[in-house]
Structure 1
Amino acid sequence: MALQFEAFCAGGLAPGWTLLVQGQADSAEDRFEINFLSEAGDIAFHVKPRFSSAMVVGNAFLRGHWGHEETAELFPMVLGQPFQMEVSSDPGHFLVRAQELALLRFTHRLVPLPSVTRLQVLSDRPLGRVELTRRGQAWGEGDF
Protein backbone atom coordinates (compact mmCIF):
# COMPACT_ATOMS: atom_id res chain seq x y z
CA MET A 1 0.00 0.00 0.00
CA ALA A 2 1.15 3.51 -0.74
CA LEU A 3 1.15 6.41 1.69
CA GLN A 4 -1.75 8.68 0.65
CA PHE A 5 -1.71 11.15 3.55
CA GLU A 6 0.51 11.88 6.53
CA ALA A 7 0.12 14.49 9.25
CA PHE A 8 2.38 15.39 12.15
CA CYS A 9 0.67 16.93 15.16
CA ALA A 10 3.30 18.59 17.37
CA GLY A 11 0.97 18.87 20.37
CA GLY A 12 -0.46 15.42 19.85
CA LEU A 13 -4.03 14.44 19.10
CA ALA A 14 -6.84 15.29 21.46
CA PRO A 15 -10.62 15.13 21.57
CA GLY A 16 -12.07 17.62 19.12
CA TRP A 17 -10.41 16.46 15.88
CA THR A 18 -11.85 14.39 13.03
CA LEU A 19 -10.23 12.53 10.14
CA LEU A 20 -12.35 12.23 7.01
CA VAL A 21 -11.50 9.74 4.25
CA GLN A 22 -13.51 9.49 1.04
CA GLY A 23 -12.88 7.05 -1.78
CA GLN A 24 -14.22 4.10 -3.71
CA ALA A 25 -13.27 0.44 -3.71
CA ASP A 26 -13.99 -1.33 -6.99
CA SER A 27 -12.59 -4.72 -5.97
CA ALA A 28 -12.79 -6.81 -2.80
CA GLU A 29 -8.99 -6.79 -2.90
CA ASP A 30 -8.77 -2.97 -2.68
CA ARG A 31 -7.31 -2.03 0.69
CA PHE A 32 -6.76 1.02 2.82
CA GLU A 33 -5.86 1.57 6.44
CA ILE A 34 -5.48 4.37 8.94
CA ASN A 35 -2.77 4.43 11.62
CA PHE A 36 -2.41 6.78 14.57
CA LEU A 37 1.19 6.57 15.76
CA SER A 38 3.19 7.68 18.78
CA GLU A 39 6.68 9.17 18.74
CA ALA A 40 7.94 5.80 20.06
CA GLY A 41 6.54 4.03 16.98
CA ASP A 42 3.56 2.37 18.66
CA ILE A 43 0.30 2.29 16.72
CA ALA A 44 -2.25 3.70 19.14
CA PHE A 45 -5.06 2.87 16.74
CA HIS A 46 -5.11 0.93 13.47
CA VAL A 47 -8.39 0.83 11.59
CA LYS A 48 -8.83 -1.13 8.39
CA PRO A 49 -11.93 -1.82 6.31
CA ARG A 50 -11.74 -5.30 4.80
CA PHE A 51 -13.90 -5.31 1.71
CA SER A 52 -13.07 -8.99 1.05
CA SER A 53 -14.77 -10.04 4.31
CA ALA A 54 -17.13 -7.05 4.71
CA MET A 55 -15.77 -5.96 8.08
CA VAL A 56 -14.01 -3.06 9.73
CA VAL A 57 -11.32 -3.97 12.25
CA GLY A 58 -9.55 -1.92 14.88
CA ASN A 59 -6.44 -2.77 16.87
CA ALA A 60 -3.33 -1.33 18.51
CA PHE A 61 0.35 -2.29 18.17
CA LEU A 62 2.04 -1.52 21.49
CA ARG A 63 5.54 -2.44 22.66
CA GLY A 64 6.06 -4.68 19.64
CA HIS A 65 2.81 -6.67 19.88
CA TRP A 66 -0.65 -6.50 18.34
CA GLY A 67 -3.49 -6.44 20.84
CA HIS A 68 -6.94 -7.98 20.66
CA GLU A 69 -8.64 -7.12 17.35
CA GLU A 70 -12.07 -5.52 17.57
CA THR A 71 -14.55 -5.71 14.71
CA ALA A 72 -17.60 -3.67 13.76
CA GLU A 73 -20.93 -5.44 13.45
CA LEU A 74 -21.92 -3.31 10.45
CA PHE A 75 -20.22 -2.83 7.09
CA PRO A 76 -22.16 -0.13 5.22
CA MET A 77 -19.60 0.35 2.42
CA VAL A 78 -20.46 -1.16 -0.97
CA LEU A 79 -18.03 -2.13 -3.72
CA GLY A 80 -18.20 0.25 -6.67
CA GLN A 81 -19.91 2.95 -4.58
CA PRO A 82 -18.25 5.99 -2.99
CA PHE A 83 -17.58 5.64 0.72
CA GLN A 84 -16.94 8.08 3.52
CA MET A 85 -15.22 7.09 6.76
CA GLU A 86 -14.66 9.37 9.74
CA VAL A 87 -12.44 8.74 12.76
CA SER A 88 -12.60 10.99 15.79
CA SER A 89 -11.85 10.76 19.48
CA ASP A 90 -13.47 11.44 22.80
CA PRO A 91 -11.55 11.34 26.11
CA GLY A 92 -11.75 7.52 26.28
CA HIS A 93 -12.23 6.19 22.75
CA PHE A 94 -11.50 6.37 19.06
CA LEU A 95 -14.84 6.57 17.23
CA VAL A 96 -15.30 5.23 13.69
CA ARG A 97 -18.22 6.07 11.43
CA ALA A 98 -18.84 5.11 7.80
CA GLN A 99 -21.67 6.24 5.56
CA GLU A 100 -22.85 8.26 8.61
CA LEU A 101 -23.32 5.11 10.74
CA ALA A 102 -21.45 4.46 14.00
CA LEU A 103 -19.28 1.37 13.52
CA LEU A 104 -16.65 1.07 16.20
CA ARG A 105 -15.94 2.54 19.66
CA PHE A 106 -12.34 1.58 20.41
CA THR A 107 -11.06 2.25 23.95
CA HIS A 108 -7.74 4.13 24.03
CA ARG A 109 -4.96 1.64 24.78
CA LEU A 110 -2.14 4.18 24.58
CA VAL A 111 -2.51 7.06 27.00
CA PRO A 112 -2.15 9.94 27.28
CA LEU A 113 -3.73 10.68 23.92
CA PRO A 114 -1.39 13.65 23.21
CA SER A 115 1.44 11.08 22.86
CA VAL A 116 -0.16 10.24 19.49
CA THR A 117 1.68 12.65 17.20
CA ARG A 118 1.44 11.18 13.70
CA LEU A 119 -1.34 10.00 11.42
CA GLN A 120 -1.00 7.96 8.23
CA VAL A 121 -3.55 6.88 5.63
CA LEU A 122 -2.37 4.13 3.28
CA SER A 123 -4.24 2.78 0.26
CA ASP A 124 -3.82 0.59 -2.83
CA ARG A 125 -5.45 3.28 -4.95
CA PRO A 126 -5.77 7.06 -4.80
CA LEU A 127 -8.41 8.30 -2.39
CA GLY A 128 -10.88 11.02 -3.33
CA ARG A 129 -10.35 13.15 -0.23
CA VAL A 130 -8.47 12.99 3.07
CA GLU A 131 -8.91 15.78 5.60
CA LEU A 132 -7.89 16.24 9.23
CA THR A 133 -9.90 18.85 11.11
CA ARG A 134 -9.12 20.03 14.62
CA ARG A 135 -10.86 22.82 16.51
CA GLY A 136 -11.84 24.90 13.55
CA GLN A 137 -8.72 24.22 11.47
CA ALA A 138 -8.64 21.90 8.47
CA TRP A 139 -5.68 20.34 6.72
CA GLY A 140 -6.20 18.45 3.48
CA GLU A 141 -4.11 16.57 0.95
CA GLY A 142 -1.02 18.50 -0.04
CA ASP A 143 -1.03 20.74 3.04
CA PHE A 144 1.91 18.92 4.65
Structure 2
Amino acid sequence: MALQFEAFCAEGLAPGWSLLVQGHSDCEEDKFEINFLSEAGDIAFHIKPRFSSATMVGNAFQGGRWGQEDVSCTFPLVLGEPFEMEVSSDAQHFHVHAQEHKVLQFTHRHWPLAAITRVQVLSDHRLARVELARRA
Protein backbone atom coordinates (compact mmCIF):
# COMPACT_ATOMS: atom_id res chain seq x y z
CA MET A 1 0.00 0.00 0.00
CA ALA A 2 1.14 3.49 -0.74
CA LEU A 3 1.40 6.20 1.90
CA GLN A 4 -1.10 8.82 0.74
CA PHE A 5 -1.11 11.14 3.74
CA GLU A 6 0.86 11.64 6.94
CA ALA A 7 0.60 14.35 9.58
CA PHE A 8 2.32 15.02 12.89
CA CYS A 9 1.04 17.03 15.84
CA ALA A 10 3.40 17.38 18.81
CA GLU A 11 0.50 18.24 21.16
CA GLY A 12 -1.30 14.98 20.32
CA LEU A 13 -4.17 14.03 18.02
CA ALA A 14 -6.62 12.75 20.63
CA PRO A 15 -8.96 13.96 21.83
CA GLY A 16 -10.33 16.76 19.71
CA TRP A 17 -9.08 16.12 16.19
CA SER A 18 -10.98 14.90 13.15
CA LEU A 19 -9.65 13.19 10.04
CA LEU A 20 -11.76 13.30 6.87
CA VAL A 21 -10.90 11.02 3.94
CA GLN A 22 -12.71 11.08 0.61
CA GLY A 23 -11.85 8.78 -2.23
CA HIS A 24 -12.99 6.15 -4.68
CA SER A 25 -12.97 2.41 -3.99
CA ASP A 26 -11.84 1.25 -7.39
CA CYS A 27 -10.36 -2.18 -6.73
CA GLU A 28 -11.64 -5.37 -5.15
CA GLU A 29 -8.85 -5.70 -2.63
CA ASP A 30 -8.79 -4.39 0.93
CA LYS A 31 -6.10 -1.80 0.31
CA PHE A 32 -7.04 1.08 2.53
CA GLU A 33 -6.23 1.78 6.19
CA ILE A 34 -5.85 4.60 8.66
CA ASN A 35 -3.34 4.44 11.52
CA PHE A 36 -3.00 6.74 14.53
CA LEU A 37 0.51 6.25 15.89
CA SER A 38 2.12 6.98 19.24
CA GLU A 39 5.49 8.57 19.85
CA ALA A 40 6.81 5.09 20.73
CA GLY A 41 5.73 3.71 17.34
CA ASP A 42 2.71 1.72 18.55
CA ILE A 43 -0.49 1.90 16.54
CA ALA A 44 -2.95 3.42 19.00
CA PHE A 45 -5.81 2.97 16.52
CA HIS A 46 -5.94 1.09 13.22
CA ILE A 47 -9.09 1.21 11.11
CA LYS A 48 -9.50 -0.88 7.99
CA PRO A 49 -12.55 -1.29 5.79
CA ARG A 50 -12.70 -4.89 4.51
CA PHE A 51 -14.65 -4.81 1.29
CA SER A 52 -14.28 -8.59 0.86
CA SER A 53 -16.27 -9.27 4.06
CA ALA A 54 -18.26 -5.99 4.20
CA THR A 55 -16.89 -5.21 7.66
CA MET A 56 -15.06 -2.34 9.31
CA VAL A 57 -12.27 -3.45 11.65
CA GLY A 58 -10.59 -1.48 14.42
CA ASN A 59 -7.59 -2.58 16.46
CA ALA A 60 -4.42 -1.45 18.24
CA PHE A 61 -0.83 -2.71 17.96
CA GLN A 62 1.01 -2.26 21.24
CA GLY A 63 4.11 -3.89 22.66
CA GLY A 64 4.67 -5.80 19.43
CA ARG A 65 1.22 -7.44 19.40
CA TRP A 66 -2.19 -6.82 17.90
CA GLY A 67 -5.09 -6.62 20.34
CA GLN A 68 -8.62 -7.94 20.01
CA GLU A 69 -10.33 -6.72 16.84
CA ASP A 70 -13.49 -4.64 17.10
CA VAL A 71 -15.59 -5.56 14.07
CA SER A 72 -18.60 -3.66 12.76
CA CYS A 73 -20.99 -5.18 10.25
CA THR A 74 -22.35 -1.72 9.45
CA PHE A 75 -20.65 -1.18 6.11
CA PRO A 76 -22.11 1.55 3.89
CA LEU A 77 -19.16 1.57 1.45
CA VAL A 78 -19.68 0.17 -2.06
CA LEU A 79 -16.94 -1.01 -4.40
CA GLY A 80 -16.61 1.22 -7.41
CA GLU A 81 -18.32 4.15 -5.66
CA PRO A 82 -16.94 7.32 -4.07
CA PHE A 83 -16.59 7.12 -0.29
CA GLU A 84 -16.22 9.43 2.68
CA MET A 85 -14.87 8.40 6.08
CA GLU A 86 -14.37 10.52 9.18
CA VAL A 87 -12.45 9.52 12.29
CA SER A 88 -12.76 11.69 15.39
CA SER A 89 -11.93 11.24 19.05
CA ASP A 90 -13.13 12.23 22.47
CA ALA A 91 -11.68 11.42 25.88
CA GLN A 92 -12.91 7.80 25.80
CA HIS A 93 -13.22 6.70 22.16
CA PHE A 94 -12.32 6.99 18.53
CA HIS A 95 -15.49 7.36 16.44
CA VAL A 96 -15.65 6.25 12.81
CA HIS A 97 -18.31 7.43 10.38
CA ALA A 98 -18.61 6.30 6.76
CA GLN A 99 -21.08 7.81 4.31
CA GLU A 100 -22.58 9.69 7.31
CA HIS A 101 -23.30 6.43 9.19
CA LYS A 102 -21.60 5.65 12.49
CA VAL A 103 -19.78 2.40 11.85
CA LEU A 104 -17.47 1.96 14.83
CA GLN A 105 -16.76 3.27 18.31
CA PHE A 106 -13.35 2.14 19.54
CA THR A 107 -12.37 2.50 23.20
CA HIS A 108 -8.94 4.07 23.67
CA ARG A 109 -6.30 1.49 24.55
CA HIS A 110 -3.27 3.78 24.45
CA TRP A 111 -2.49 6.18 27.26
CA PRO A 112 -1.66 8.99 27.58
CA LEU A 113 -3.72 10.23 24.66
CA ALA A 114 -1.33 13.15 24.12
CA ALA A 115 1.29 10.60 23.01
CA ILE A 116 -0.78 9.84 19.87
CA THR A 117 1.06 12.27 17.61
CA ARG A 118 0.95 10.92 14.04
CA VAL A 119 -1.71 9.81 11.59
CA GLN A 120 -1.19 7.95 8.33
CA VAL A 121 -3.54 7.07 5.49
CA LEU A 122 -2.33 4.17 3.37
CA SER A 123 -4.23 3.31 0.22
CA ASP A 124 -4.07 2.01 -3.29
CA HIS A 125 -7.48 3.64 -3.88
CA ARG A 126 -7.74 7.08 -5.44
CA LEU A 127 -8.02 9.65 -2.66
CA ALA A 128 -9.67 12.92 -3.58
CA ARG A 129 -9.26 14.69 -0.25
CA VAL A 130 -7.66 14.15 3.15
CA GLU A 131 -8.16 16.78 5.83
CA LEU A 132 -7.04 16.85 9.44
CA ALA A 133 -8.63 19.51 11.63
CA ARG A 134 -9.11 20.37 15.27
CA ARG A 135 -12.78 20.09 16.18
CA ALA A 136 -14.54 22.97 17.88
Using the alignment, how far apart are the partners of 1:47 and 1:83 within structure 2? Answer: 15
TM-score by structure 2 length? Answer: 0.96
Question: Which stretches of structure 1, 4 residues or longer, exceed 2 Å deviation after superposition?
Answer: none
Q: Which residue does the alignment assign to 1:21?
A: 21
TM-score by structure 1 length? Answer: 0.90
Q: Which runs of 5+ in 2 are unaligned?
A: none
Name which of structure 1's ranges 82-91 and 24-33 shifts more when overlaid on structure 2.
24-33
Residue 127 (structure 1) aligned with residue 131 (structure 2) = no
1:17-53 CA distance string (max 9 Å, x none): 1100001112221511000001111000000001111
Using the alignment, how far apart are the partners of 1:73 and 1:122 within structure 2? Answer: 22
Using the alignment, how far apart are the partners of 1:42 and 1:30 within structure 2? Answer: 22
Residue 35 (structure 1) aligned with residue 9 (structure 2) = no
Name which of structure 1's ranges 15-24 and 25-34 shifts more when overlaid on structure 2.
25-34
Name which of structure 1's ranges 125-134 and 85-94 shifts more when overlaid on structure 2.
125-134
CA RMSD, 1 decimal: 1.1
Q: Percent identity?
A: 70
Q: CA deviation at 1:92?
A: 0.4
1:64-83 matches, cutoff 5 A:
64-83=64-83
Is the 2:34–2:121 contact (alpha carbons within 8 Å) kept by the matching residues of 1? yes
Q: 1:135 to 1:75 in 2, by over 3 A?
A: closer
Name which of structure 1's ranges 74-83 and 23-32 shifts more when overlaid on structure 2.
23-32
Q: Which residue does the alignment assign to 1:114?
A: 114
Q: CA deviation at 1:58?
A: 0.3
AA aligned opposite 1:86:
E
2:126 is paired with a residue whose SS is coil
2:132 is paired with a residue whose SS is strand
Q: 1:51 to 1:9 in 2, by over 3 A?
A: same
Q: Which runs of 5+ in 1 are unaligned?
A: 137-144
Aligned residue-pair number? 136
